[in-house]
Structure 1
Amino acid sequence: MRDLSDELLMWYDGHARAMPWRVPPDQSKAGQRPDPYFIWMSEVMLQQTTVAAVKEYFRKFTGLWPTVRDLAAAEDADVMAAWAGLGYYARARNLLKCARVIVAEHDGVFPSDYDDLLKLPGIGPYTAAAMSAIAFNQHATVLDGNVERVMARMYDIHDPLPGVKPVLMKYAEALTPRGRPGDYAQAVMDLGATICTPKNPACGICPWRDPCAARQAGTAAELPKKTPKKKTPVRLGYVYVARRDDGAWLLETRPEKGLLGGMLAFPSSDWSDDPTPAPPLDADWKDSGQEARHTFTHFHLRLKVMVADVPDNLDPTRGHFVPHHAFVPSALPTAMRKVFDLVPRRDATIEPESR
C-alpha cells in the first residue's frame, strides 16, 4: 500500500493541477500549508459543481471577502447575489452560517480536528476529511466521486453505488499514507479527474496501471456501477414578471428554507403537478407564450411565464419593486435568469448578453 501511495505522490509532484486555492506540491513538501479558509471555500463550492465553474466564483468570493471575518460580516443579500448561477443555494446560506460561527465561537480560526469540523454548519464527512488532510496535513481519507471511481477500478468492484461506498472507503483508507496526507488526497482526486475519467480512462499513462484489477480484467470503462435512478419527475408552476411604467421590476426574496432560499426571484406560484395561480398583484396578466425550464437535483421545473405592465402607483401584495437602474439580472438564480431571458424587452439597456 505504501508503494502505491508513493507512486501516486511521485506522479502528483509532476502533474498536480494548478488551483487558486492550492499550495503546489514543491511548496507543500517544504512545509507550506494552504489557507484553511481557501480550502473550506473551495470544497463547499465544489460540491456537485465542476472545477472549471468554481474557479471563477472562488476568485470572486475571495476578492470580495478575503478572510473568514470579512465573509462573516457580509450582508446576506450580497453573498447570495455573488453566488447566483452556482446553484445549490443552501451551500451559500451554510457558508455564511459557518463563517459567523467561526468568528463568534472560534475567534476566526478554523478548528483542525475532524470531529470539531463536523460540528460546523454545512460541513459533512467529506468536507471535514478534505479540510483535515489538505489544510492541516492530518491523516484523513477523502472519498468523492473521483476517488470512488478510482477505488472501484483499482479493485474491480462491481457492486453498485451508493451501497458500496463503505467498501470503497475501506480501500481508500488503506491507501492513505501517514506522510503527506494532504498532497495524497489531492493526488487521488486529480488522478480521477484527469486520467481515471468516467469515459475513456487513459490507462496507458496511469501511475497505477499495473496493479489496477479492472484494467487487467478489461472492465475499467464500465466501473463504477450505479443503482439505476428513478425517472425524474416534472413540476409545473406560474412565474410572474411585472414591470412598472418607470421601468422598475417586481421581485421577492424567497423564504430562507427551500429551493432558492434567500434569493431574489420573480414571484411565482407553488411548484407541483397541479399548481395554483398566485399573482402577486392585481394586474392585466398575459400569458407570454413562453415556458422557462430548469432542472434541479430531484425534478424538472417548467414555469409558465406571465407578464404585466403596471402603473407606478400599484402596490404588490408580495415582493417589492426594484428600480430599473438597480436591477442586476446576474444577481438572480439561474432558473430566474432563464425567465428574464424570455421576457420581451421594452428597451436595449438590459440584455441577456451583458450578463
Structure 2
Amino acid sequence: MDASSDALSSALLDWYDAHARDLPWRSPPGAPPPDPYRVWLSEVMLQQTTVAAVKAYFAEFTRRWPTVKALAAASDAEVMAAWAGLGYYARARNLLACAREVAAQGGTFPDTEEGLRALPGLGAYTAAAVAAIAFERRAVVVDANVERVVARLFALDTPLPGGRTEIREKADAITPEARSGDFAQAMMDLGATVCTSRAPRCLLCPLSPHCRGRATGEPERFPVKAPKKAKPARNGRAFWIEREVDGEGHVWLVRRPGKGMLGGMRALPDDGWSARADGSGEGPLAGPWESAGMVGHVFTHFSLSLNLSVYLGNQCDSLAQEAGEWWPLDRIEDAGLPTLFAKAARLALAETGEEA
C-alpha cells in the first residue's frame, strides 16, 4: 500500500477499535480470532439478510449444534425447519453440504481462501471473509456495505453490476497486510452505521478527509445502480386440508423437492405456481373447497399471490397415495414452514376459528 492507503487503513482501524459492533459471532478488536465455525455460519446466514434477523437464528443454531461436526450429524429436516423464516433456502442446503464435507475432513476448516473455496457453497465473498476474520489471512472482503464505502471513497461512477470489478480492485489497494480481519469488519461496520445508503453521517466518518464522494457534495449518488426491472407477478393456489387424527386436528403437509424454490421444506400442497391468471390449479382432493382468501410474498425474482383453498373433513383416504404427513394443528409453528406457507397457515387457522 502507498502512504495514503496506509493512513486510510490506520484511521479506519482506530475508529473500529473504539466503535466496533458487539456481535455474537465476533471477537473484540485486537482479540484472538473467533471459532471458524461461528464465522462461517454467521456469514452464510448474513447473505442478503440483516444482522437483526440473523441474531436469533445464530443463537439457536449454535445452541443446538455448537460445532461443525454436530451440525453435520443433524438431519436435513431438522436443519431446514430451524432455518424456516430466514429465507433463501438454498443457503441451508449448502450449509449442510459444507458441514458434512468439513466433518469428513476431520472437522477443521481450511485456513486459506483457496481451500475454503473448494468447500460446497462457499463463494468468493464467504471464503475471503472466513479467511480474513477466522484465520487472519490477508483477503479482500467485499459485501454490500463495503461496496458502498469503496464506491463513495473513490467516487466510482460505473453503474453496478459492471462497476464491481473496479470496486474490488480499489478495496484490494487499501486492505492492509496486518489486521485484515478487523479491517474487513471495520469496513462492514462503517457501511452499516455511518456510510449508510441514505443520509450518510459524513461528519462522523473517519474516512471523510479521504472521501472523493463526499467532496462531490453528493455521496449518496454512489454506488451508481442500473435501473431496476419490474418483477414479474405469478399466481397460484395452495390447499389447506384439515382432518381429525386420533381425535385431534391435523393438517396435510408435503415436503417440497430437494432442488428449486423452497427446496426440502415442509409446505402446504400447491398447484406449482403455474402463472395462471386466476390461480385455479387443480387440488389434491375433489373437495368441496372453501376459499380462505389470498396470501402474497415477494421472492428475489418475482412476486407471488396464492389463492388459499380450505377443505375440512375426513374423506382424505386418497392422500395415502401421496407423499406427505398429517401434522398436529397445535404444533404448526414447529413444522418449520417457510414464510409464504406460514402466512397461509395463519390465514387458514383464522378462517377455521383455530388459534394461530
TM-score (ref. length: structure 1): 0.94
Aligned AA (2:326): F
Superposition map of 1:189-338 within 5 A: 189-245=188-244, 246-274=248-276, 277-288=281-292, 290-311=293-314, 314-316=317-319, 317-318=321-322, 319-328=324-333, 331-338=336-343
* Residue of 20, 23, 40 corresponding to 2:24: 20
Question: Which residue in 2 is equivalent to 1:11?
Answer: 15
1: distance between equivalents of 2:192 and 2:352?
46
2: distance between equivalents of 1:337 and 1:329?
11
1:227-267 Cα deviation digits (max 9, x unpaired):
11211000110000010034110100000001111000000
CA distance 1:220–1:330, change in 2 (3 Å): farther
2: distance between equivalents of 1:242 and 1:201?
50
Work out whether residues 237 and 269 of structure 1, in 8 Å CA contact, stay in contact via their aligned partners in 2: yes
Aligned AA (2:61): F
Work out whether residues 151 and 168 of structure 1, in 8 Å CA contact, stay in contact via their aligned partners in 2: yes
2: distance between equivalents of 1:9 and 1:266?
50
SS at match of 1:303: strand
Q: 1:313 deviation in Å?
A: 5.8
SS at match of 1:235: strand
Q: 1:281 deviation in Å?
A: 2.6
1: distance between equivalents of 2:316 and 2:235?
31
Comparing 326-335 with 15-24, greater Cα deviation is found at 326-335
RMSD: 1.4
Question: Which residue in 2 is equivalent to 1:163?
Answer: 162
Superposition map of 1:107-122 within 5 A: 107-122=106-121
Aligned AA (2:110): P
CA distance 1:161–1:313, change in 2 (3 Å): closer
CA distance 1:307–1:329, change in 2 (3 Å): farther
1:82-112 Cα deviation digits (max 9, x unpaired):
10100000001111111001011x2000001
Q: 1:308 deviation in Å?
A: 0.3
Q: 1:346 deviation in Å?
A: 4.4
Runs (4+) off by over 6 Å: none
Q: 1:325 deviation in Å?
A: 4.6
2: distance between equivalents of 1:72 and 1:192?
34
Aligned AA (1:68): V
Q: 1:139 deviation in Å?
A: 0.6
2: distance between equivalents of 1:273 and 1:68?
40
Q: 1:70 deviation in Å?
A: 0.5
Work out whether residues 285 and 316 of structure 2, in 8 Å CA contact, stay in contact via their aligned partners in 1: no
Work out whether residues 160 and 224 of structure 1, in 8 Å CA contact, stay in contact via their aligned partners in 2: yes
1: distance between equivalents of 2:38 and 2:307?
40
Aligned AA (1:310): G
SS at match of 1:200: coil
Matched, 1:2 2:12: no
SS at match of 2:262: coil
Work out whether residues 266 and 335 of structure 2, in 8 Å CA contact, stay in contact via their aligned partners in 1: no
SS at match of 1:34: coil
SS at match of 2:326: strand
Q: 1:283 deviation in Å?
A: 2.6
Q: 1:74 deviation in Å?
A: 0.6
2: distance between equivalents of 1:46 and 1:312?
45
2: distance between equivalents of 1:120 and 1:277?
40
The alignment of Structure 1 onto Structure 2 pairs a total of residues equal to 344
Aligned AA (1:155): F
Q: 1:159 deviation in Å?
A: 1.2
Question: Which residue in 2 is equivalent to 1:44?
Answer: 44
Q: 1:345 deviation in Å?
A: 5.3
2: distance between equivalents of 1:253 and 1:178?
48
Aligned AA (1:265): A
% identical equivalent positions: 49
Ranges in structure 2 where 5+ consecutive residues have no aligned partner = none
2: distance between equivalents of 1:324 and 1:157?
54
SS at match of 2:74: coil
Question: Which residue in 2 is equivalent to 1:58?
Answer: 58
Aligned AA (2:347): L
Work out whether residues 233 and 298 of structure 1, in 8 Å CA contact, stay in contact via their aligned partners in 2: yes
1:311-333 Cα deviation digits (max 9, x unpaired):
16624143221233543356111
Aligned AA (2:343): K
SS at match of 1:328: helix
